[in-house]
Amino acid sequence: MKSWCLGYEVKNMSYEENKTNASNIEIIPCERINCKGAAPCVLNINSYMNVYEFEDKIMKYMCNMRPVMDEFICVNLDVIADRPVDFIQSLVEGYIRYDGVHIMKNYRVEYGKMDKEGNNHIYVLEAPDGACDYDMAVSVFAMVCIEGKAPSDWYWKEITEKVFAKKEESTEVMHVKGIDWKEAVLLKRKMRRVLGAIIGDIVGSVYEFNEIKTKDFPLFSEHCCPTDDSMMTLAVASALVECKRDYSKLAAETIKQMQLWGKKYPKAGYGSMFSDWLRTNDPQPYNSFGNGSAMRVSPVAYVAKSIEEVKELSRIVTSVTHNHPEGIKGAEATAVATYMALHESKKEEIFAVINAEYYPMNFTLDEIRADYEFNETCQETVPQSLKAFFEATSFEDAIRNAISIGGDSDTIAAITGAVAGAYYGVPLHIEHKALKYLDKLQVSAYYRFVKYLCGDAEWFEES
């Protein structure tokens, strides 16, 4: 795999001056900026630090380069300017930075920040035993960036240098108290992946009754919107938050939250029986085996502590409506696959469990695509949704696979997105676009669930 360097050169000019010049993005050789990394080229961006208006353009380059970025990323910056904290957080979680972060081959993290006197303060954050993978480095550093905290068994070294001057390392080591780093890393991974099902729903919303049998289509359009899949996913997430791990209350809270969300968004595209259930004063399960059980279940995978618990939670949130064995099985298969993906099971391991315990997976998308028709049952949508994940090479590829099947596109893509999001993570540029389709209440519910996953940690901050 090639090693790349992403360099950010920011002109020292006012926002208004730079706005007239627009932004300039180009690929240049590393030696032009005296890059410290052994990398063949650099992405050079000339723009004011607050580059929201240039974000889509920048993210396009990030997306195109992402396949070769995973082994080694080095970010160089000549001029540091003020920028909003939420933008910094978004960038560090998207594997790019504007203030001099180096994520080295051995995953040591260096953080540079310029003071008012022009001195560049470099902080090095490394695990004492050297055991640090890429996600861990980025995740831990995100916490440091937000709150100035580091996990207790990591340490800082501070280096001071004049701009372009030779670096002289200080011998001072500062120990910083913090939360357990292993748990923090897992939580940060979860944060970006929760949206997988909702993104699939949003992308698929325009194709539910206008199916296409190809992977070549605009991922987002002005006609996209969250549907019942998203509303009920957020309802289940809200129920889990309200229960505070007292799952004896989960069934009742799930009913309460689903009815609240259903009344708040009555035109989200619910089925007729479920619409009646949302409005009744005495909601009872109605023996359904529709795919509505699978489309909403993914949040349980994020709170469960074991495979056994994810199965139990899945049954609880499902059986309030879908108490047919096939409805329960479809939701459980989705929840188990999502849980295994989140906890770093290999794709072949997930496949083996689904194939042995839930659905035979002895087919390919190419074999079924031409003749597949609209169907809303679990047994005719969940296997196809999971196959879209199994045949994918990335999160976006999984969503495109799901849409290309046709049929109940938003729900198929929501199920696929839940598992693919947990497995691959959600790219930053896709997350940002998807959030624009959610209203304030929906975004608030998403962040509330994420904050609950983080245990209301002090370092958590909405991006």
For residue 245, what is the domain's CATH number?
A: 1.10.4080.10
Does one domain contain both 296 and 246?
yes
In a domain, 82, yes or no: yes
- Stretch among 202-216, 308-322, 397-411, 424-438 having the lowest mean pLDDT: 424-438
Write out the two tokens for 394. Answer: 């990335």
The reply to whether 257 falls in a domain is yes
Binning pLDDT at 50, 70 and 90, where does residue 81 land? Answer: very low
Statement: residue 43 has pLDDT above 50? no
**Does the pLDDT at position 239 exceed 80?**
yes
What confidence category does residue 168 fall into, taking pLDDT thresholds of 50, 70 and 90?
very low
Question: Does some domain include residue 126?
Answer: yes
pLDDT tens digits along 350-391: 999 999 999 999 999 999 999 999 999 999 999 999 999 999
Say if residue 224 is in the same domain as residue 98. Answer: no
Same domain, 202 and 84: no
Predicted confidence band of residue 211 (pLDDT cuts 50, 70, 90): confident
Q: 219: closest CA among 439, 393, 429? A: 429
Question: Which domain does 108 fall in, by range?
Answer: 6-178
Comparison of pLDDT for 416 and 49, the residue scoring more: 416
Q: Among the three residues 178, 213, 237, which one is the final residue of a domain in this structure? A: 178
Statement: the pTM of the whole predicted model exceeds 0.85: no
pLDDT for 133 beyond 80: no
Strand partners, 109: 103, 125
Last residue of a domain, one of 178, 206, 240: 178
Residue 49: pLDDT band (50, 70, 90) is very low
State the Cα–Cα distance between residues 184 and 271, nearest whole angstrom: 40
Does a structural domain hold residue 260? yes
Both tokens assigned to 40: 């063949």
Q: Cα(42)–Cα(75) distance, rounded to whole angstroms?
A: 9
Identify the band that residue 189 occupies on the pLDDT scale cut at 50, 70 and 90.
low
Distance CA 403, CA 417 (A): 11
Token pair belonging to 166: 């030779």
Rounded distance between C-alpha atoms, residue 17 and residue 362, angstroms: 60
In contact, 6 and 69? CB cutoff 8 Å: yes
Distances (CA, A) of 91 to 25, 145, 159: 17, 11, 23
pLDDT above 60: residue 246: yes
pLDDT tens digit string along 314-328?
999 999 999 999 999
- Residue 137, domain member (yes or no): yes
Report phi then psi at 244, rounded to 5: 50, 45
- For 232-266, give the DSSP string: HHHHHHHHHHHHTT-GGGHHHHHHHHHHHHHHHST
What does each C-alpha distance from 56 to 25, 67, 158, 428, 435 come to in angstroms? 12, 18, 35, 11, 14
Total domains present in the chain: 2
Q: Which residue has the tokens 């200080």?
A: 170
Alpha helices in 66-211 (DSSP H): 85-93, 134-147, 181-193, 196-204
- Paired with 25 in beta bridges are 45
Which pLDDT band holds residue 177 (cuts at 50, 70, 90)?
A: very low
The secondary structure element, H or E, covering residue 432 is: helix 428-435
Helix H, strand E, coil C: the string for 145-156 is HHHCCCCCCCEE
Q: Which residues are annotated as a binding site?
A: 227-229, 408, 410-411
Report the pLDDT value the prediction gives residue 427, as an integer from 0 to 100: 76
46 vs 299, residue with greater confidence: 299
pLDDT of residue 385: 98
One-letter amino acid for residue 394 of the chain: S
Q: Which of 109-113, 231-235, 347-351 has the lowest mean pLDDT?
A: 109-113
Residues 286 and 356 in one domain: yes
Query: Are the beta carbons of 399 and 413 closer than 8 angstroms?
Result: yes
pLDDT tens track for 9-32: 333 334 344 444 444 444 333 333
Tell me the C-alpha to C-alpha distance, in Å, between residue 15 and each of 21, 235, 386.
10, 42, 47
My answer on whether 158 and 197 are in the same domain is: no
Strand, helix or coil for residue 171: strand
Pair 376, 271: CB distance under 8 Å: yes
Q: What is the pLDDT of residue 260?
A: 97
- With the CA atoms of 96, 159, 118 and 58 taken in that order, what torsion angle do they form, in degrees rounded to the nearest 10? -10
Please check whether residues 167 and 204 belong to one and the same domain.
Answer: no
Span 272-284, average pLDDT:
96
Q: Look up residue 166 and give its DSSP letter.
A: P
Q: What are phi and psi of 92, to 5 degrees?
A: -70, -35
Predicted confidence band of residue 190 (pLDDT cuts 50, 70, 90): low
Predicted pLDDT of residue 329:
98
Per-residue confidence (pLDDT) for residue 210, from 0 to 100: 85
CA dihedral 186, 293, 323, 261 (to 10 degrees): 90
Cite the annotated binding site for Mg(2+) by residue number. Answer: 227-229, 408, 410-411
Q: Are residues 267 and 382 in the same domain?
A: yes
Is the pLDDT assigned to residue 73 strictly greater than 50?
Answer: no
> Do 204 and 240 belong to one domain?
yes
